[in-house]
């Protein structure tokens, strides 16, 4: 997909690349692991045309942003996002997080609550990793460094998108695979190690006093009921299940995803 208005800024000691398009209240779109901001290209176009200022960064270690090797904690990603908003003179944003960045969005709410006007969590989980989960993430990070992202992308594609997407929308599956395989291995590994150490967000959601939308693909292989749990935790939260989508509904079923987000944003502005 074509790039949209890229810019760069020096944020917390690293160079970050981001898209900033449109005018109006701010909608911040955060990509997942091991994606980049191009996963949101359609939503940037759609919502910038509907009266929103849409900001979509490449998180450190991904896309056009500088790589930090070793480990990057969820807290660091959240602080980067807050500093980028400060750089762009943005006080508050509706924050959309997907998978890894759903956890970053929740960490942003924890560390910088005044920055989050409303929260959209998309195909993520609120709980911290247990010991086995932490081990699995460190093993996965080791494999990225040893075997490269081409192998990683092939191995996880079937869990990133639904089988029906691979069969009926192969272009979408190919786009996801290209993002995964083009991600810098050192950046992806550092983020994976950081995710292993993330906090538990269940109490944060339970005490949330902002509007919350939970979106989940009906065929998300990673969900395990997490979408329902988050919707039950956050007071007044809305749950939208996107049929015909796996882990990446904004790409697999973009019209349905956009409708869910548009309806949520419309209620905020009403």
Q: Which pLDDT score is estimated for 56?
A: 99
Fold held by 6-269: Rossmann fold (3.40.50)
Alpha helix segments (H runs only) across the chain: 41-48, 74-87, 100-111, 131-147, 149-160, 163-168, 170-182, 185-196, 202-206, 226-233, 249-252, 254-269
% residues pLDDT > 90 (the chain):
97
Q: What is the mean pLDDT of the chain?
A: 97
Query: Does position 3 have pLDDT exceeding 90, yes or no?
Result: no
**For 239-250, how does the pLDDT look when each residue is reduced to its tens digit (9 = 90+)?**
999 999 999 999
Indicate the domain borders of the chain. Answer: 6-269
**For 94-122, how does the pLDDT look when each residue is reduced to its tens digit (9 = 90+)?**
999 999 999 999 999 999 999 999 999 99
The pTM of the full predicted model, rounded to 2 decimals, is 0.97
**For 256-268, how does the pLDDT look when each residue is reduced to its tens digit (9 = 90+)?**
999 999 999 999 9
Nearest-angstrom CA–CA distance, 102 and 167: 27
Nearest-angstrom CA–CA distance, 189 and 191: 5
Q: Which of 7, 232, 226, 233 is nearest to 123 (CA)?
A: 226
Query: Does position 1 have pLDDT exceeding 70, yes or no?
Result: no
Confidence category of residue 6, pLDDT binned at 50, 70, 90: confident
Query: Does position 2 have pLDDT exceeding 70, yes or no?
Result: no
């Amino acid at each position: 997909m074509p790039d949209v208005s890229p810019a760069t800024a020096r944020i917390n000691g690293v160079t970050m690349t981001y898209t900033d398009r449109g005018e109006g209240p701010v909608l911040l779109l955060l990509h997942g692991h091991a994606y980049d901001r191009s996963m949101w290209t359609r939503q940037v176009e759609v919502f910038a045309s509907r009266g929103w200022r849409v900001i979509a960064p490449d998180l450190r270690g991904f896309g056009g942003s500088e790589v930090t090797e070793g480990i990057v904690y969820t807290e660091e990603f959240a602080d980067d996002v807050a500093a980028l908003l400060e750089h762009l003179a943005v006080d508050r944003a509706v924050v959309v997080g997907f998978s890894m960045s759903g956890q970053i969005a929740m960490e942003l709410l924890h560390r910088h609550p005044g920055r989050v006007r409303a929260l959209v969590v998309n195909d993520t989980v609120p709980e911290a990793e247990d010991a086995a989960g932490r081990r699995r993430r460190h093993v996965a990070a080791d494999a990225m460094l040893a075997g490269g992202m081409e192998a990683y992308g092939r191995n996880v594609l079937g869990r990133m998108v639904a089988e029906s997407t691979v069969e009926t929308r192969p272009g979408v599956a190919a786009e996801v695979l290209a993002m995964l395989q083009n991600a810098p291995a050192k950046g992806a590994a550092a983020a994976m190690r950081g995710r292993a150490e993330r906090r538990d967000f269940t109490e944060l959601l339970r005490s949330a006093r902002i509007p919350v939308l939970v979106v989940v693909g009906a065929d998300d292989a990673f969900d395990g009921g997490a979408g329902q749990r988050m919707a039950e935790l956050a007071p007044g939260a809305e749950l939208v299940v996107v049929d015909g989508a796996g882990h990446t509904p904004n790409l697999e079923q973009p019209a349905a995803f956009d409708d869910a987000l548009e309806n949520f944003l419309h209620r905020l502005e009403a």
